[in-house]
A and B are shown apart, each in its own frame.
Chain A
Amino acid sequence: MKSERFQKTFFLTRFSFKRDWLRLSVWTVVLIGLFVGVAAKFNGLYGSKNAIEQIIKTLKTPAMVSLFGKMPSGPYTTADVFASEMTVFMAIIAAIMNFYFIIHNTRGEEEDGILEMIQAHSVGRLSNLSAALLEVFILNLVIGLIYSLGLQFANLAGTDTNGNFLLGLGLGAVGFMFASIAAVIAQLTDNSRTASILSYLVFGIMYIARMITDVSHSKYTWLVPMGWVEKFSTYKDNNWLPVLLMLILSIIMTLLAFYLNSHRDVGSGLIATRAGKSHASIFLRGPISLSWRLNRVSILVWFFGIMILGATYGSVFNTIGDILKTNPMMKQLLDTKAINAANILIIKEFIALLVIVFAVLALVPGISLINYLKTGESKGYLEIIHATPTSRTRLYFSTLFLATLTSIAVFFGGLYGLYIGGNAVMSHYLDFSIFLRSFYGYLSPLLVLIGISAFLIGWLPKLVAINYGYLILAFFIQYFGKLLKLPDWSAKISPFGFIDKVPVKNFDIATFWWQIGIAVILIGIGYIGYRRRDLIIN
């Protein structure tokens, strides 16, 4: 009975690898390149005692703790710096990768009707789910092992073999843990979109929870599964307990997913789809309203999600913006007014670092809305629309309009959340104009990225997804550029690199206009391409 339910699991796993090999390879290469590439540079970056001391000072500020997690106690080596800078970040990327593969290969396959055809053969009920889990398990294991081996070869000052394997395999384990969580969520909903939204929601809550516990009482971070990665204490205590916890949670989640899967019908979820209206509301009448109607839930989730993230970051302002905490000597050197000014400056520096996070996150829903012109086309959803008097011009600009508006609104929401959250805890009022300066400053690079997607839609529709890659690259350079001492020219690869550190620096109107110019040109060229090309047909 048992084996019958798992019939052909290994065959399906092999088949999945064959089907996904390109995507699997791209993810693996990118992740390993990122991790091992950074590791290889680290001895040069933080080889000297002086350099280590400097960066540790930065990493110990509450602002950095909120982003990268809490540092174990010293003394520190190059390897310690590496572990504290990379662990949380790599865990986030691992979550994104695992969500993608699990949801795509379970609920996605089911939604497309592929599972039905597979299940009609002598294939066990749980085979598809277990094959998908097995696939990502192997993926995470291989990536984790290569991380470990890469660390062995990089041979950072202060590493030990135990720590190398702990960090590598631990990151693999956290990836699989997120995969198993997504596998459960994929059983609950009856479509992959909702499954993705819910998975990221769970992830977002964990991320925020670990951030709050990190800056306040870091022992509570043990309560957050995502926070376990910070508890490896790599190269210090080399604690394998978090890895064990992750595996236990993964097993529980896997069993739960199996249970839920065998207690439901193919195509259905536990959260049922309700009936709706028999008539369209008067608002549903054109491309903009259609796009809104299709995406309103995810747009609202993005908007409020980012706003809450902003408010959470804001709520640590009082810890961050207290220079006396990290530097008690200051009290003797500066008067209250000067200390206040110094505190505000620290907060502004922190905001300048966060803006890039909000801007990049805000672009995700915008780019995804634009890319619908391609995915909707290739999946056939837009075929009837194209046969109506709706012109391509209207469809293109309507979509761009909603996408741009969404990105700007989500971006604004993040900063507004930051403003609200910050002022809730600060004794010293932070004027909204500080936040607006960041908002205006990042508006133009935001539009350039939108423009790139518009251009791709018009001329290279099959490659629209590469803008996400560009976005991640831009984020990586902005976020890690200083920490990894990347060369100055690297910042100029993305439009974000041309923006002065707002709100610390002033908003530069000239940069704003030339970037807007580029965005408009990209959108215009994209329009010409979109108007004259074949639509993609399946």
Chain B
Amino acid sequence: MLNQNVPILHIDHLQKNFGKFHALKNITFDIYPGEVFGFIGPNGAGKSTTIRTILGILRASGGRATIFGKDVFKDAVEIHKRIAYVPGDVYLWPNLTGGEIIDLFLKLGHSRHTLKTDELIKKFQLDPTKKARTYSKGNRQKVALIAAFSTKADLYIFDEPTSGLDPLNEEIFQKEVFNLKKNGKAVLLSSHILSEVEKMCDNIGIIRNGEIVETGSLAQMRHLTRTTIKVQTQIQTPELLSMSGVHNVELGNNQTVLSVDSDYLESVMAYLSQKQIVSIQATPPTLEDLFLRYYDSNNGGSNNEK
């Protein structure tokens, strides 16, 4: 039904100002059918603002965002017929029960309470007869998640959906997202939990100060960064200190630790192999390393390190 080559969500130089404050300066990325897109960035970087803009809750100040080829603000109602959304902070009407709210959300989205809904309620172990007033943060998130997962949509938007869930429920969440992916749905997942993003997402966008600083698959991103190598050799390796593409060298008696730019991996390995390797351990950069690389620097210029 959905053309794999046409993006479901297309964001092009999106901007949003609140008065003089530029919350979003330049957001550009696409999401295709069957893709889980991880949206990461620190607090206040503009993740939720981006999401609220593409939901038509906020009006863009510049640039363009379309979902299913339609304008996110003007055609919000048409678009919302085919999306499901779970906000970061789920607020539920205190005097309604969880079950009532799930049904209401489904009806508002032109869906119905189905067997799938009951199944999800059971899986997430939610008591739907309790008033929302008595729910914890995790339970409120479950209500929104159950409603979202039982909605038949083409684009699912989750804004830090698992921040209040326990590990068991987090796993159920991940399984459900895999099911969506299998069925060719598109998913936008904003998250802080990098292991979750690493595990689930095909492509990742890193946002910082209202700008997307990097997009691509984790593999592609890794290419841009360094592999950490711990090596033990019979012969000393002082040349490492002056080799190009090699950083943070710690020469030890027993073990040497170094970071290597991906592009120089081959030459470094060739050099090391001549030094009679006793043991070697290479760690690919984790998302956390990537993340920290973009955020740790105070000067804001991640590019000059490359």
Contact = CB atoms under 8 A, between A and B. Distances in A.
Contacts of A2: none
Nearest to A534: B58
Contact of A532 (B59, B96, B108, B113): B59
A378 to B, nearest CB: 10
Residue from B48, B100, B130 whose CB has the most chain A CB atoms within 10 Å = B100
Nearest to B83: A387
Contact of B104 (A284, A386, A535, A538): A284
B100 A279 contact: yes
Residue from A280, A379, A391 whose CB has the most chain B CB atoms within 10 Å = A280
Interface of A: 111, 190-191, 193, 273-281, 284-286, 290, 293-294, 379-381, 383-392, 532-535, 537-538
B131 interface: yes
Interface residues of B, number: 46
A188 to B, nearest CB: 15
B97 A277 contact: yes
A280 B107 contact: yes
B129 A294 contact: no
Contact of A388 (B86, B99, B105): B105
B131 A389 contact: no
A275 B87 contact: no
B57 interface: yes
A111 B95 CA distance: 13
Residue from A386, A388, A534 whose CB has the most chain B CB atoms within 10 Å = A388
Contacts of A379: 91
A275 B129 contact: yes
Classify the interface of chain A: helix, strand, loop or mixed. loop
Contact of A290 (B58, B78, B104, B109): B104
Contacts of B81: 389
Contact of B57 (A273, A276, A534): A534
Interface string B32-59: 0000000000000000100010011111
Interface in B58-99: 58-59, 76-78, 80-81, 83, 85-87, 89-97, 99
Contact of A190 (B96, B110, B133, B157): B133
A273 to B, nearest CB: 5
A190 B94 CA distance: 11
Interface string B99-117: 1111111011110010000
B93 A278 contact: no
B138 interface: no
Given A389-B77, A537-B58, A276 B100 contact: yes
A278 B113 CA distance: 11
A273 B133 contact: yes
B91 A535 contact: no
A387 B153 CA distance: 12
A313 to B, nearest CB: 32
Given A279-B113, A280-B101, A389-B81, 7 more contacts: A276-B131, A278-B97, A280-B107, A286-B108, A387-B87, A388-B108, A389-B108
Contacts of B195: none
Contacts of A538: 89
B128 interface: yes
6 contacts: A111-B94, A277-B97, A277-B99, A383-B87, A387-B157, A391-B76
A390 B267 CA distance: 60
A449 to B, nearest CB: 26
A538 B48 CA distance: 11
Contacts, number: 118
Contacts of A274: 131
A534 B110 CA distance: 25
B52 A537 contact: yes
Question: Which 7 residue pairs across A and B have the least CB separation, nearest first?
Answer: A280-B103, A380-B91, A278-B99, A387-B85, A276-B97, A388-B108, A278-B128
A536 B85 CA distance: 18
A108 to B, nearest CB: 12
Contact of B100 (A284, A384, A535): A284
B93 A388 contact: no
B87 A380 contact: yes
B68 to A, nearest CB: 13
Contacts of B97: 275-278
B93 A294 contact: yes
Contact of A278 (B55, B58, B89, B129): B129
Interface string B104-145: 110111100100000000000000111101100000000010
A387 B80 contact: yes
Contacts of B130: 275-276
Contacts of A279: 99-100, 103, 113, 128
A386 B100 contact: no
Contacts of A380: 87, 89-91
B58 A276 contact: no
B84 to A, nearest CB: 8
Contacts of A386: 55-57
A384 B80 contact: no
Contacts of B59: 532-534
Contacts of B128: 278-279
A278 B127 CA distance: 8
Contact of B107 (A193, A277, A285, A293): A285
Nearest to B147: A384
A277 B131 contact: no
Residue from A284, A384, A392 whose CB has the most chain B CB atoms within 10 Å = A384
B96 A389 contact: no
A29 to B, nearest CB: 29
Contacts of B55: 386-387
A277 B100 contact: yes
A527 to B, nearest CB: 15
A384 B58 contact: no
A380 B57 CA distance: 12
A385 B108 contact: yes
Given A275-B97, A275-B131, A389-B77, A381 B57 contact: no
Contacts of A532: 59
Nearest to A538: B89
Contacts of A534: 57-59
A276 B77 contact: no
Given A275-B130, A379-B91, A388-B109, A294 B57 contact: no
A277 to B, nearest CB: 6
Contacts of B113: 279
Contacts of B102: 280
A293 B99 CA distance: 14
A535 B87 CA distance: 15
B104 A391 contact: no
